[in-house]
Amino acid sequence: MLEKKILWIGSYTTDEIFKNMPARTPSHGSGFASEKSLVTGIDEVIKDTAYVMDTIGADTFPAYPEYSNLFVKRNEFTRNNKSYDVNVGYLNIRYINRFARYISLMMEVKRWWKRNKTRKNLIIYTYGIELEKILAAIWIKKRLDGAKIYTIIPDIPKFVNIKDSKIYILLKNISEKLSRKKLPSIDYFILYSKHMADYYGLPSNRWILMEGSISIDDILYLNECKKNKNENFIIMYSGTISAIRGVPKLLEAFSSYKKKNIELWLTGSGDYKEKILEKTLSDKRIKYFGYLDNRKDVLKLEKQADLLMHIRISEAAYAPYCFPSKIFEYLATGNIVATVKIKGIPDDYYKYMLTIEELTENGIHEVIEKAMSMDDDERDRFVSLAKEFVITKKNSYVQAKRILEFAKIDL
């Protein structure tokens, strides 16, 4: 069969390269897992076809000296002995790194084009709507007959990694304005929240909703993990440890819940971790595991919990444009999941989770009581339906096939 190419422009890298990165954040971990899930899903779907997908990755890191290297290293590799994959290298000085990363990305795109300039009807996926990825995709589209761009939007850049720096905010706003001007050059969009369509003013015939996926590897690992019999009732929160995620409200509510046979486990990192460490000294029921950069360690802890808490500030500006990937792994554990209601989560998910009606002491106490009062049969029925839903309908193979079919790729 004559080989056909798909091009992925995002931040994809290998497990080994990711593990050895000098600077990682919780958002890096969730972003890496989400993107890897789709890439491996596509690989599985196209495995016995004429298609091969190449990837060009341009990741963002904390600037030097917070990131221990002045230069982000370029890495070239292959996922399956067929694909061509590369992570761009660039000078990582604050503010300059945005432009340096874009220049390096364009250099890699041009290298790829020189080897593939005779191809027709190329499908280009961009993972993210960041300006440099869009510009790179448009550059190739203009030079290859019949090429089409499908932009996957997992989040709105304006609402991610918010900082107080006026220069940083200015650069983000400029980047968003320039990105919006390029939207007509993008053919179709794959959205993690339907509200993104309103935000960007997208006509209904140019997008589909696809909230993300959970990888087959994560599903298999969670199925293999043994769940121990807990002496106490374990509540767990895993993710970014910050005020904007509602962590202070969770801590306050738990501290005021005076039952002894209950524990709160937290893992992750963020601007509220020092407060959590203080709380662990005054309330021995609270256990903080820090930031675990091994994903399997996080999944193993989640498997041991009795109640997994997904919390956000539902009134926050980002809430309508966010589908939390954490929901997938929570549901796949086979444990009870409780969540606040946010607009970014489609209605059909809520029947598989307990709802925190208000992110207050009373609201959190009520959902804890509800979870603890379930008898074994009720609990087993509830979590079995939730687990079946996510592993059969939201796994990486199913979701990857959807976005390939959306691009009318002949499988």
- pLDDT tens readout for residues 284-307: 999 999 988 888 999 999 999 999
With H, G, I as helix, E, B as strand and everything else as coil, classify residue 153: strand
The pLDDT tens digits for 132-162 are 999 999 999 999 999 999 999 999 988 876 6
Mean pLDDT of 331-359: 96
- The whole-angstrom separation of Cα 106 and Cα 44 is 28
Q: Domain 217-393 falls in which CATH fold?
A: Rossmann fold (3.40.50)
The pLDDT tens digits for 72-103 are 999 999 999 999 999 999 999 988 999 999 99
Quick one: pLDDT at residue 235?
98
On the question of pLDDT at 216 being above 80, the answer is: yes
Quick one: pLDDT at residue 162?
65
On the question of pLDDT at 131 being above 90, the answer is: yes
On the question of pLDDT at 8 being above 90, the answer is: yes
- What is the DSSP code string of 64-97? BTTSS-SEEPPEEE-SSSS--EEE--EE-BTTHH
On the question of pLDDT at 123 being above 60, the answer is: yes
24 exposure class (CB count in 10 Å sphere: 0-12, 13-18, 19+): middle
Q: Which two tokens stand for residue 391?
A: 């592993």
The pLDDT tens digits for 374-404 are 999 999 999 999 999 999 999 999 999 999 9
Residue pair 309/366 in contact (Cβ under 8 Å)? The answer is no
Nearest C-alpha neighbor of 30 from the set 273, 244, 288, 326: 326
- The whole-angstrom separation of Cα 389 and Cα 393 is 6
Produce one character per residue of 93-126: b if its CB has 16 or more CB atoms within 10 Å, e if not.
eeeebbebbbebbbebbeebbeebeebeebbbbb
On the question of pLDDT at 25 being above 90, the answer is: no
The pLDDT tens digits for 192-213 are 999 999 999 999 999 999 999 9
Quick one: pLDDT at residue 318?
86
More confident of the two residues 98 and 67: 98
Please report, for the chain, the start and end positions of each structural domain, with discontinuous segments joined by +. 4-213+395-406, 217-393
The pLDDT tens digits for 311-343 are 998 888 889 998 999 999 999 999 999 999 999
On the question of pLDDT at 46 being above 80, the answer is: yes
pTM summary value: 0.94
Residue pair 367/149 in contact (Cβ under 8 Å)? The answer is no
Q: Which two tokens stand for residue 209?
A: 């909703």
Give percent of the chain with pLDDT exceeding 90.
79
| CATH architecture, domain defined by 4-213+395-406 | 3-Layer(aba) Sandwich (3.40)
Are domains 4-213+395-406 and 217-393 of this chain identical in fold?
yes
Give the pairing of strands 207-209 and 148-153: unpaired
At a CB cut-off of 8 Å and minimum separation 6, what does 234 contact?
262, 263, 265, 304, 305, 306, 307
